[in-house]
Structure 1
Amino acid sequence: MQDSSNFIKDFIDKQGLFYNWLDSRRFEIGPFLMTRLSFLLDGKSFIVITDDERIWFEEYFLNLVNSKSTRPLVPFFSLKGFKLDNYDKNEDLLDDLLNIAFPDGYVYFYVGKDNSKMAKLAKSKDNSLLFIFDEEYDNSFCIKSNDEHKDIKLITIAQLINVCIDGIIFSRVKI
């Protein structure tokens, strides 16, 4: 069993050029990811939400994370079926619904800009997994929206998360 820093370093080293940017930030992303992903062991579910510009990421990630035939399905879900345009008027109702649907708890996994409705929703829970563009917060990971490689970086983050889930589920990494 490896510590999370070496586990992530080994993954980055095996992947090649597009993952080099992660190496310089692995001490930032590693503890952040492992802390949040450890909630899987507590039976918590993850609700993946994005701003409007990154809806593609939600679909990509959900397809990626549950496409492996070598591990059990993992509890990552979307709120796509819900009409959330006016959720802020019914925040308590949404929270009640999610608490009923996920009795062991849930974690928001948000990717997007800070000024979206979905960002407000994700920031309403302290344990959210936040990838925020252009803003730095405690317990979040910042990506610059003017970075020409931001989409590639999101894909590499998704693949890193997927590998970390394997590591956690199969006890290959110390949390």
Structure 2
Amino acid sequence: MENLDIWLLKAIRAEDNKGIMSGWLEERRLELTPLFRQALRHLFSRGSFIVLTDSARKWFGDYITQSINLPNKTRPFFSIFEINSLGFIIDSTLRDTQDRGFLSIFKMLDNSFCQNYAFWYIGKKSTRSEFALVRDNSFVWLLDERLPNTLTLSSADELLDFKLLQLYRLFEQAFCAAILGQLSIEP
């Protein structure tokens, strides 16, 4: 069983050997490792992720939730969901209430997910990202803004979509490897 950091390095280099440009991932590996570890621990503690994006990355949220649990994958389903109306509810709450009304939304989600959920947010800093960051264990890929415990990417990067897909693929591979006992999520 390999440490997550070593496993990530090998997985990134294996992709690079296939001709897939992964050098940027290797450069960011030490930043990725604690974020992946936290996300994997959350899922292994029977937690769920609710995928939430800004409007420009909605396609990516759809891709994650439509791809991660395809029936032809020979593994257990991951508890990763998208609630299509959640972004609208968050945006409407900001517009229609003075206190942002986040408490009402969190209570609804606490009841629905037995309080064991976090957010997988992808996008620019917004009300939605602020909402996601309030919740412990959230897995946040933030564009154009550097905050603690988030992965920062640039929206001006012409390879952004490609990088998002690479990150998704690497995370899915890491979760599968952890399920199979090929890597340890302990530090």
Alignment of 1:132-147 (within 5 A): 132-147=142-157
| 1:5 corresponds to | 5
2:34 & 2:134 partners in 1: Cα distance?
Answer: 21
Contact 1:58 1:78 in 2 (8 A): yes
1:97 & 1:112 partners in 2: Cα distance?
Answer: 23
1:71 & 1:146 partners in 2: Cα distance?
Answer: 36
Q: Deviations over 1:42-85 (max 9, x none)?
A: 11100000001100110111122112521111100112044413
Q: Deviations over 1:105-158 (max 9, x none)?
A: 1011100001x2211211121321111011111100100111111111100011
Cα RMSD of the aligned pairs, angstroms, is 1.5
| 2:112 corresponds to | 101
Other structure's SS at 1:86 match? helix
4+ residue runs over 4 A deviation: none
| 1:14 corresponds to | 14
Aligned residue among 72, 76, 79 for 1:72: 76
1:52 & 1:81 partners in 2: Cα distance?
Answer: 12
Moved more, 160-169 or 45-54: 160-169
Contact 1:44 1:105 in 2 (8 A): yes
Change (3 A) 1:161 1:99: same
- Aligned-pair identity (%): 28
Contact 2:42 2:137 in 1 (8 A): no
Aligned residue among 18, 32, 36 for 1:33: 36
1:40 & 1:6 partners in 2: Cα distance?
Answer: 21
1:58 aligns with 2:61: yes
Contact 1:18 1:152 in 2 (8 A): no
Letter of the structure 1 residue corresponding to residue 12 of structure 2: I
Change (3 A) 1:64 1:19: farther
Contact 2:38 2:137 in 1 (8 A): no
Residue 7 of structure 1 deviates from its aligned partner by 0.9
Kindly name which structure, 1 or 2, has the bigger radius of gyration based on alpha carbons.
2
1:153 aligns with 2:163: yes
Unaligned stretches of 5+ residues in structure 1: none
Other structure's SS at 1:18 match? coil
Moved more, 146-155 or 80-89: 80-89
Unaligned stretches of 5+ residues in structure 2: none
2:32 & 2:41 partners in 1: Cα distance?
Answer: 14
Aligned residue among 90, 93, 98 for 1:87: 93
Other structure's SS at 2:52 match? strand
1:52 & 1:111 partners in 2: Cα distance?
Answer: 10
Aligned residues: 174
